[in-house]
Amino acid sequence: MSFLILVRHGQSIWNLENRFTGWVDVDLTEKGRYEAEKAGKLIKIRNIDIDHYYSSIQLRANNTLKIIQQTLKDKKKFSRAWQLNERHYGSLTGLNKMEMIKEIGKEKVHEFRRSWDSKPEPLNKESPYHPTNIKIYSQIPQEDIPNTESLKDTYERVIKYFKKEIEKKLSNKNVLVSAHGNSIRALCKYLFELDNIQISSLEIPTGNPLVIELDYKLKIKNCEYLDKERAKDLLVF
C-alpha cells in the first residue's frame, strides 16, 4: 500500500486578484502561507511519512511545499520539474477573469478555463509575462516553452513526466506533489480515468491535501481531502 498526496499551492497573489496566472511566477499571499501550514498539520495528523517530494519550478508551489516540509519537520530535498507547471493561459495571462467575462462572455471564459482542448490565442513573445522573459525558465529548451496551452496540452506534459519519474516511486512508497490547479486536474484525469466531459467539472481547492490510497497494483482504494470544510467534489468514490 502507498499514498499519493496532491496539493495545489496555497492562495497566490494573482489568485487573490482573480487574474489568469499560468506560467507567471507569483508568490503566496498570507492566506496562502496559512493554507500551506494547515496542509502540513493535516498531513502530520494523518501520520503519513513522505518518502519523495515533487514540485513544479514555480515559486508558489515551491513555497507551499517548503512550508509543508517545515511543518512536518522533514528536510528531504524535493525534485522540481517544469512539466508540473500550471497551464499556460496564452493571451489571457495577467488579465482579470471578471473583466474578461464582461468583454467576451461567461461561456467563452468558461470554455477557455475548463474545456479539454480549447486554448486562448498565443501570448506575444514580447510580453513580460512570456516564459522566455522570465528568469526561472532560462534552462528550459526553447522548443519546450509554450505560447499557450489547452488542458490537453498540459495533460500530455504532466502525465509523460508522471509516468517516467513519479509512478515508479509509488511501489510501497509515499509521494507528495505540490503543483497547480490544472496540472493536478491532469493528474486526476489520468488516475481516476475521467473522460473529457467529467474533467471540465473538476475543481481543485488551494492548499488542501488530496490523499489517494493505492494498492500494490497502484489501483485506487480510497481518496479524501484532508480539510473537509474546503473539499471539492471528486466525481469519484
3-state secondary structure of 53: strand
110 grid coordinates: 468558461
Q: Which of 225, 1, 201 is nearest to 116 (CA)?
A: 201
For residues 200 and 115, is the Cβ–Cβ distance under 8 A?
A: yes
Give, in order, the Cα–Cα distances in Å from 14 to each of 131, 138, 160, 191, 211: 17, 23, 28, 28, 26
* Residue 9 appears among annotated catalytic residues: yes
Question: Which of the following is catalytic: 9, 88, 130, 180?
Answer: 9
Question: Which of the following is catalytic: 86, 88, 130, 149?
Answer: 86
Q: SS3 letters for 165-219?
A: HHHHHHCCCCEEEEECHHHHHHHHHHHHCCCCCHHHHCCCCCCCCEEEEECCCCC
For residues 84 and 179, is the Cβ–Cβ distance under 8 A?
A: yes
* Residue 52 appears among annotated catalytic residues: no
Phi, psi of 108 (to 5 degrees): -70, -40
3-state secondary structure of 55: strand
Residues known to be catalytic: 9, 86
